[in-house]
Structure 1
Amino acid sequence: MLKRVLVLDDNQDILDVVQETLSYEKFEVKSTADSNKVMSLVKEFEPDLIILDYRVAGTNGGEVCQQIKSHPEFNNIPVIIFSAYINHQDEILAYGCDAIINKPFDLAELIDKVNDLIY
């Protein structure tokens, strides 16, 4: 069975690149641009890893990460936060994420961090 990755980003180009890259690496990927749908997708899709963009419309990725990490059923799911705000790493880590990937990101770094956290 393929490992599942849920991705939140409000930039469709980034969603497309991440989906294509992770699918090529043999992951099952579900993506959304709506931060308000993440918790219901976590329940429905049961991902092995979640990638959240830090800056999205609505609830930011850090707040979504906090919701996931404070939920007794999902708090063990690794979460990566994408961020273009490299000067705010301590602030982002305070949300409880397992890793940060700085934007713009290298696809090899994405694959390495996903593999490190999922296996």
Structure 2
Amino acid sequence: MLNRILVLDDNQDLLNIVEETLSYENYQVLVTSDSHNLIEIAKIFRPDLFILDYKVTGMKSEEICRQIKWHPQFGRVPVILSSAYFHKDINYESMGCDDVIAKPFGLDELVGKVSNLVSARA
């Protein structure tokens, strides 16, 4: 069974690249730009990892991350925040994320972070 990755971003080009890259690495990938229904989408898809855009349109990503971590079904599912706008004075781990990745990121870096978190969860 393939590990499932749920990716939230409002940049369709980035979603396409991430989906293609992670699919090539033998992950089942679902991409969405729907921040308001992410938990409902996750209930159906049952991801092994979330990748969330920090500046996604709609809900704030820190609120989405907290919803994931407080949800009984997803509390132990790793979350990666991605953004081109990280600030050194913000503690992103306090939002509940397990890792961060700065845009633009290399595909090897993305695959490495995903692989490490999925492996650690197994």
TM-score by shorter chain over 0.5: yes
The residue that corresponds to 1:31 in the other structure is 31
Residue equivalent to 2:111: 111
Match of 1:22 in 2: 22
Q: Deviations over 1:68-106 (max 9, x none)?
A: 001122100000000112225634222110000001111
The alpha carbon displacement at 1:111 in A equals: 0.2
Match of residue 9 from structure 1: 9
| C-alpha distance in structure 2 between counterparts of 1:28 and 1:87, whole Å | 31
Aligned residue in 2 for 1:77: 77
TM-score (norm 2): 0.93
Deviation per CA, 1:25-80, whole angstroms, max 9, x where unpaired? 00000010110121011100000000000001110222110100011221000000
Partner of 1:66: 66
Computed over aligned residues only, the root mean square deviation of the Cα atoms, in angstroms, reads: 1.1
Structure 1 residues 89, 116: closer, same or farther in 2, change over 3 A? farther
Distance, in Å, in 1 between the alignment partners of 2:114 and 2:7 is 12
Specify the alignment match of 1:99 in structure 2. Answer: 99
Amino acid at match of 2:20: E
Q: Distance in 2 between matches of 1:89 and 1:96?
A: 16
User: Helix, strand or coil: the match of 1:86?
Assistant: coil
Distance in 2 between residues matched to 1:68 and 1:80, nearest whole Å: 12
Following superposition, the deviation at residue 24 of structure 1 comes to: 0.3
TM-score, normalised via structure 1 length: 0.95
